């Protein structure tokens, strides 16, 4: 036994001593030309690019159109783009170094910038990209793709569409509701207080077997719910990631708003499948209004067309026309200064304020492991060009990140509204730092705690988090949880 | 004092070697200097040449690749890659694997070297004693005859070393590095000694999580094995009863549950116990909205655990019932008749006759069931998919077992993955399950009283 211990110790001790041995190189410095060297020269010929786009683009035929058009244009160079046939959640960080990843990928800015931190995506020569031309794209949407590396600011992605929650509803459902300001949005959807009262009434008038909900939104989605906290003064990171502003200002009021909303919502709002259910539930009238991102417009539209064809027995063309007219997208309602949705609003201007929501920018990036960076750049330039972005907006309902495409005729009417919100600073972009994952995890637990308190144990009213002080304590605890988690991640 | 003893113990093989070289003959010394030289001196030219070629091949490997790989095992790379700038750099993980491979080759060569010296000494003594020395052909014949086991086992052993031992050693070594999705090639991975273990047992959120998970893991392993084992036994006994009619039909029902793939059953149960599922619908219908139970919600604890136990019992009882049925069919009916005559009631017969016999026959299976349940990944994974950050837990929920936590740390979560810490957890699981299996098996009647039912 002693011999065995001696051998084990003899084997393990060197391993324990290895820490920090050897002079290790890293943290290179380079000039702009060196960083962009991979993009110099003629594009690679006779190559096939594996492109990973998101599921909606693939399902709705946009992606086929995109690669078809690209392949036609670059056939003479022998450059061909094809579907990478991978899950849209493929992790380049894990697969890229092994040679399994795509050449070009489409993802949210936080994920692409996570890859950029460890050099998994290439810095892009923006001077060669049409989308980065003067006045084409607002700095608010290019900034999330910017990172200081090698002592200079570099861009690691090309923004394609802006993501931030918007309100979806059917026009005919609210036909009888007043619209005092005549802006086309019913008054009950102008403020969260009105929406809360409306939802309470709608729910009270429905039955257990056929429940109807005035408002529903995913309660376990940190991205959608964080806006309520931001609106009351919270922020994610200050000057550094050690400055976590979750409990800043009156953010506890944001939690109170979430609790009030949860009390009039479907219990399914806390389930993972909520987002998928919402498309059909809006179409069927089970949910009267919901908030989610603009890029799923086509999902609501398809569900509505499906209902008109299958249930209302309409012709497809007529169903499509009606669905387009009936499906509405509006700004998110205003929030009460008091944070109390039960309060009756008499003067919207002084008693409410415009809601700030979390946002993000989806875009294209090029894998550092591609063997054809120049051909990839051609693809990214083509896909982020005016024509393709307008097509993407028309076919999928996205809000284009390009200013000119957002203002183009034929794109969605709500694109301008979203763009205005971005310009007014009412969209806080997701920080493009790795530490964000620690924030999401802990905020998720916090949201679950407050909403379960209302929907389950409290059966309509909070029990554990009934006071402002209890909500403040929860926020402070969540900040500590995030710090602990970041300590582990570091 | 203890250190001295340890050092002495570690130095013992070298002292033994020194004593051997003092007493051995010239042939052994020649083979020690150059493999195969002693054999040639003994007249075994063919064997000597083969051994020399082996040493040359090894030296060539070591000079060209092996030494670099061995050094790489210690440094895990010196140049960090940067794919943006086109700098390939060192791949720490490849270096770790190649380093382990070089150690295996080195150990294999050391074994061959020792055998070569011993063979030279043995053959020299044999020649001195006037006994014939085997020629090359005779040696080959011996290898195909007396030592045929060596020929047949050489390839499988090499396979085991390459495909079993290498990955295991790699996993174990990973536990001593800072390897994670954030610190992975092209970045350089570093040796951090026992840093991951220290983190597991000192960081507040990890300690609290590991404590809660281990507590539930033990309860889960005991209860799930108990319900599964005795559920199956009771069902088998019930169906075996003479008064039960249509035995085939009753046996077929659990088989149906058994035939459905486990994860499909779990997805079904997940829906049944969800907020919108039929069970909550029924509860609300019967007793109003307040009666709904959030069985599998993120922060649900005992309700979720009860559902997991129920589903596991449902999935595993059929197999357990089949096993018990086959064991019960081998029981000696005379013993029961004798017990009846002695006046033993049904319960006494069960406790003193049935149970010991079934235990004896199924103890190894019971142990494997316990270990299987201890590491039952599927139940919590499928029933609570995506629920990984419950309050008071770090990357886990109340029904997660150590194995689920390991998965969440290593692969789950869609964010950073901590391979090093996950490897440390896997070593922990190995120690727990290995120790339990050993103790349980060695103290079981199947091991201690092997002849009881022969």
Q: Using CB atoms, which residue from B83, B188, B290 is nearest to A459?
A: B290
Contacts of B85 in chain A (CB under 8 A): 28, 30, 34-35, 37
Q: Assess B190–A contact: CB distance below 8 Å, yes or no.
A: yes
pLDDT at A9: 46
How far is A9 from chain B, CA to nearest CA, in Å? 9
Cα A318 to Cα A323: distance, rounded to the nearest angstrom? 8
Neighbours of B346 (CB within 10 A): 12
pLDDT at A372: 95
Q: What is the pLDDT of residues B5-35, one digit of tens each?
A: 777 777 887 888 788 878 888 889 999 999 9
Q: What is the pLDDT of residues B249-306, one digit of tens each?
A: 887 877 787 788 888 888 899 889 887 788 988 888 888 767 778 788 777 889 999 9
CATH number of A40-162+360-429: 3.40.190.10
How far is A120 from chain B, CA to nearest CA, in Å? 7
Q: What is the pLDDT of residues A284-305, one digit of tens each?
A: 999 999 999 998 999 999 999 9
B 41-70: CB under 8 A from A: none
Band the pLDDT of A21: cuts 50, 70, 90: very low
Band the pLDDT of A23: cuts 50, 70, 90: low
pLDDT exceeds cutoff 80 at A392: yes
Residue bearing tokens 């281990």: B214
Residue B62 inside a domain? The answer is: yes
Chain A interface mutation, best of B83, B95, B204, B294, highest count of A Cβ atoms under 10 Å: B83
pLDDT exceeds cutoff 80 at B58: yes
Residue bearing tokens 């209902």: A307
Contacts of A9 in chain B (CB under 8 A): 6
Inter-chain touch A208–B190, beta carbons under 8 Å: no
pLDDT at A24: 60
In total, the C-beta contacts within 8 angstroms joining chain A to chain B are 167
Cα A430 to Cα A357: distance, rounded to the nearest angstrom? 10
As given in the structure block, the two tokens for residue B30 are 């020649």
Same domain (yes/no): B268, B156: no
DSSP state letters, A306-342: HHHHHTS---HHHHHHHHHHHEEEEPPPBEETTS-TT
DSSP alpha helices (H): ranges in B354-444? 355-374, 377-383, 402-410, 419-442
pLDDT at A69: 97
Same domain (yes/no): B236, B257: yes
Same domain (yes/no): B437, B360: yes
pLDDT exceeds cutoff 70 at A2: no
Same domain (yes/no): B178, B238: no
Number of H helices, E strands in chain B: 22, 0
- Angle, CA A120 vertex, CA A119 and CA A122 arms, to 5°: 75
Q: Assess B440–A contact: CB distance below 8 Å, yes or no.
A: no
Cα B403 to Cα B411: distance, rounded to the nearest angstrom? 12
Domain span at B65: 2-193
Mean pLDDT calculated for residue range A401-415: 82
Of B193, B227, B257, the last residue of a domain is: B193
Q: What is the pLDDT of residues A453-475, one digit of tens each?
A: 776 544 567 778 889 999 999 99
- For position B389, which CATH number holds? 1.10.3720.10
Cα A133 to Cα B451: distance, rounded to the nearest angstrom? 87
Residue B137 inside a domain? The answer is: yes
Phi and psi at residue B331, to the nearest 5°: -75, 145
**Per-residue burial over A37-59, b = 16 or more CB atoms within 10 Å of its CB, e = otherwise:** ebbeeebbeebebbbbbbebbee
Longest dimension (CA), chain B: 100
What distance lies between CA A135 and its chain's CA centroid? 24
H/E segment holding residue A193: helix A192-204
pLDDT at A482: 85
Neighbours of B136 (CB within 10 A): 15
Q: Assess B103–A contact: CB distance below 8 Å, yes or no.
A: no
Mean pLDDT calculated for residue range A159-167: 94
Mean pLDDT calculated for residue range B153-174: 90
Q: What is the pLDDT of residues A189-244, one digit of tens each?
A: 999 999 999 999 998 888 877 889 999 998 878 888 999 999 999 999 988 888 99
pLDDT at A378: 96
Same domain (yes/no): B185, B214: no
Same domain (yes/no): B174, B314: no
pLDDT at A316: 93
Band the pLDDT of B96: cuts 50, 70, 90: very high
pLDDT exceeds cutoff 70 at A1: no
Inter-chain touch B6–A30, beta carbons under 8 Å: no
Residue bearing tokens 């949910």: A287
Same domain (yes/no): B32, B149: yes
pLDDT at A27: 59
Least confident interval from A79-88, A116-125, A240-249, A430-439: A430-439
Inter-chain touch A441–B274, beta carbons under 8 Å: no
Same domain (yes/no): B89, B231: no
Same domain (yes/no): B164, B310: no
Specify the number of domains making up chain B. 2
pLDDT at B337: 85
Band the pLDDT of A271: cuts 50, 70, 90: low
Task: Could you please state the CATH topology (level 3) that the domain comprising A166-358+434-489 is classified under.
Answer: D-Maltodextrin-Binding Protein; domain 2 (3.40.190)
Cα A191 to Cα A206: distance, rounded to the nearest angstrom? 23
Cα A294 to Cα B195: distance, rounded to the nearest angstrom? 45
pLDDT exceeds cutoff 70 at B235: yes
Between helix B204-240 and helix B402-410 the angle, nearest 10°, is: 130
Q: Using CB atoms, which residue from B86, B176, B389 is nearest to A441?
A: B389
Mean pLDDT calculated for residue range A391-405: 90
- Sign of dihedral through CA atoms B116, B117, B119, B124? positive
Q: Assess B332–A contact: CB distance below 8 Å, yes or no.
A: no
> CA of B152: how far to CAs of B137, B148, B164, B335, in Å?
19, 6, 18, 48
Same domain (yes/no): B245, B182: no
Q: Where are the domains of chain A?
A: 40-162+360-429, 166-358+434-489
Inter-chain touch B10–A6, beta carbons under 8 Å: yes
> CA of A87: how far to CAs of A90, A105, A160, A366, B55, in Å?
5, 11, 20, 17, 50
As given in the structure block, the two tokens for residue A444 are 């998720």
Of B148, B173, B193, the last residue of a domain is: B193
pTM: 0.78
Same domain (yes/no): B99, B141: yes
Residue B454 inside a domain? The answer is: no
Residue B300 inside a domain? The answer is: yes
Chain B interface mutation, best of A97, A100, A148, A207, highest count of B Cβ atoms under 10 Å: A97
Contacts of A97 in chain B (CB under 8 A): 91, 184-186
Q: Do domains A40-162+360-429 and A166-358+434-489 have the same CATH topology?
A: yes
pLDDT exceeds cutoff 70 at B446: no
More confident position, A278 or A28: A278
Same domain (yes/no): B121, B213: no
CB of A138 closer than 8 Å to CB of A424 = no
As given in the structure block, the two tokens for residue A275 are 């987002």
pLDDT at A456: 56
More confident position, A259 or B393: A259
pLDDT exceeds cutoff 80 at A39: yes
Mean pLDDT, all residues of chain A: 87
As given in the structure block, the two tokens for residue A50 are 């594996």
Quick one: A33 exposed, middle or buried, by C-beta within 10 A (0-12, 13-18, 19+)?
exposed
Q: Assess B206–A contact: CB distance below 8 Å, yes or no.
A: yes
A368 contacts: CB under 8 Å, gap ≥ 6: A96, A119, A120, A121, A122, B83, B84
Cα B412 to Cα A185: distance, rounded to the nearest angstrom? 42
Q: Using CB atoms, which residue from A34, A208, A456 is nearest to B294?
A: A456
pLDDT at A382: 97
Q: Using CB atoms, which residue from B81, B82, B203 is nearest to A488?
A: B203
Residue bearing tokens 């008749």: B337
Inter-chain touch B192–A442, beta carbons under 8 Å: no
Query: Which of A396, A388, A392 lies closest to A72, judged by CA?
Result: A388
> CA of A267: how far to CAs of A123, A376, B284, B285, in Å?
44, 45, 12, 15
Of B193, B222, B251, the last residue of a domain is: B193
pLDDT at B451: 60
């Amino acid at each position: 036994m002693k011999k065995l211990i001696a051998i084990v110790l003899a084997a393990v001790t060197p391993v324990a001593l290895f820490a920090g041995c050897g002079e290790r190189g890293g943290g290179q410095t380079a000039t702009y030309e060196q960083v962009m060297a991979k993009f110099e020269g003629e594009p690679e010929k006779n190559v096939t690019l594996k492109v990973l786009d998101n599921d909606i683009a693939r399902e709705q035929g946009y992606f086929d159109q995109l690669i078809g058009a690209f392949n036609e244009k670059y056939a003479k160079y022998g450059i061909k783009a094809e579907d990478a046939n991978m899950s849209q959640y493929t992790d380049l960080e894990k697969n890229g170094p092994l040679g399994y990843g795509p050449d070009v990928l489409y993802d949210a800015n936080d994920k692409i910038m996570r890859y950029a931190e460890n050099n998994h995506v290439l810095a892009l020569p923006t001077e060669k990209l049409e989308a980065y031309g003067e006045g084409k794209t607002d700095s608010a949407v290019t900034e999330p793709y910017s990172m200081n590396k090698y002592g200079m600011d570099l861009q690691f992605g090309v923004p394609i569409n802006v993501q931030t929650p918007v309100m979806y509803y059917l026009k005919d459902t609210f036909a009888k509701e007043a619209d005092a300001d005549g802006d086309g949005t019913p008054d009950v959807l102008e403020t969260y207080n009105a929406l809360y009262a409306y939802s309470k009434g709608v729910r009270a008038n429905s039955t257990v077997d056929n429940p109807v909900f005035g408002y529903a939104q995913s309660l376990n989605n940190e991205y959608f719910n964080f806006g309520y906290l931001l609106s009351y003064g919270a922020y994610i990171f200050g000057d550094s990631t050690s400055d976590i502003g979750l409990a800043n200002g009156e953010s506890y009021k944001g939690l109170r708003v979430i609790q009030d909303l949860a009390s009039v919502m479907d219990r399914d709002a806390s389930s993972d499948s909520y987002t998928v259910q919402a498309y059909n539930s809006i179409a069927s009238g089970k949910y009267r209004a919901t908030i989610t991102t603009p890029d799923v417009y086509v999902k609501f539209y398809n569900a509505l067309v499906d209902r008109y064809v299958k249930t209302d027995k309409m012709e497809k063309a007529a169903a499509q026309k009606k669905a387009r007219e009936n499906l509405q997208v509006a700004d998110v309602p205003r929030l009460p200064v008091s944070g109390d949705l039960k309060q009756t609003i008499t003067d919207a201007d002084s008693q409410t304020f415009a809601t700030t929501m979390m946002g993000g920018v989806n875009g294209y990036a090029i894998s550092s492991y591609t063997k054809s960076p120049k051909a990839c750049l051609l693809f990214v330039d083509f896909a982020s060009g005016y024509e393709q972005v307008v097509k993407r907006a028309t076919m999928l309902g996205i809000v284009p990140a390009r200013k000119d495409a957002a203002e183009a005729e034929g794109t969605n009417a709500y694109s301008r509204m979203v763009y205005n919100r971005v310009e007014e600073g009412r969209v806080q972009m997701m920080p493009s730092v790795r530490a964000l994952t620690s924030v999401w995890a802990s905020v998720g637990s916090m949201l679950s705690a407050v909403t379960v308190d209302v929907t389950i144990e409290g059966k309509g009213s909070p029990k554990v988090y009934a006071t402002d002080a209890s909500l403040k304590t929860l926020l402070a605890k969540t900040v500590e949880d995030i710090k602990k988690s970041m300590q582990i991640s570091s | 004092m203890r250190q001295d003893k340890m050092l002495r113990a570690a130095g013992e093989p070298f002292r033994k070697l020194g004593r051997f070289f003092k007493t051995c003959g010239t042939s052994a010394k020649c083979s020690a200097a150059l493999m195969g030289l002693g054999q040639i001196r003994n007249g075994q030219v063919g064997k000597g040449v083969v051994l020399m070629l082996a040493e040359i091949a090894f030296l060539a490997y070591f000079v060209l690749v092996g030494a670099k790989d061995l050094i790489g095992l210690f440094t895990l790379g010196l140049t960090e890659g940067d794919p943006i700038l086109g700098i390939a750099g060192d791949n720490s993980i490849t270096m770790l694997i190649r380093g382990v491979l070089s150690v295996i080759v080195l150990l294999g060569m050391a074994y061959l070297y020792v055998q070569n010296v011993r063979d030279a000494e043995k053959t020299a003594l044999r020649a001195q004693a006037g006994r014939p020395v085997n020629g090359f052909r005779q040696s080959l014949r011996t290898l195909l005859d007396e030592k045929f086991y060596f020929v047949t086992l050489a390839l499988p052993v090499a396979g085991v070393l390459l495909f079993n031992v290498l990955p295991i050693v790699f996993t174990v070594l990973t536990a001593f590095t800072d390897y994670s999705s954030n610190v992975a090639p092209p970045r350089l991975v570093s040796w951090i000694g026992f840093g991951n273990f220290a983190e597991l047992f000192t960081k507040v959120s990890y300690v609290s999580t590991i404590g809660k998970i281990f507590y539930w893991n033990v309860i889960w392993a005991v209860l799930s094995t108990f319900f599964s084992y005795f559920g199956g036994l009771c069902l088998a006994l019930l169906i075996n009863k003479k008064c039960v009619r249509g035995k085939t039909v009753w046996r077929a029902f659990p088989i149906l549950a058994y035939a459905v793939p486990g994860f499909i059953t779990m997805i079904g149960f997940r829906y049944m116990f969800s907020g919108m599922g039929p069970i909550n619908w029924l509860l609300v219908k019967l007793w109003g909205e307040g009666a709904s139970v959030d069985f599998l919600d993120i922060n649900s604890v005992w309700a979720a655990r009860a559902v997991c136990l129920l589903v596991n019992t449902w999935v595993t009882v059929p197999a357990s019932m089949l096993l018990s049925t086959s064991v019960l069919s081998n029981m000696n009916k005379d013993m029961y008749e004798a017990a009846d005559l002695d006046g033993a009631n049904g319960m006494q017969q069960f406790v003193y006759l049935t149970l010991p016999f079934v235990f004896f026959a199924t103890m190894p299976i019971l142990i494997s069931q316990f270990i299987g349940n201890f590491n039952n990944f599927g139940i919590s994974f499928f029933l609570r998919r995506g629920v990984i950050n419950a309050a008071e837990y770090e990357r886990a929920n109340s029904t997660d077992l150590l194995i689920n936590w390991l998965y969440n740390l290593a692969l789950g979560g869609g964010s950073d993955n901590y391979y090093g810490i996950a490897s440390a957890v896997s070593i922990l699981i190995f120690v727990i399950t290995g120790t339990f299996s050993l103790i349980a098996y060695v103290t079981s009647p199947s091991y201690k009283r092997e002849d009881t039912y022969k």
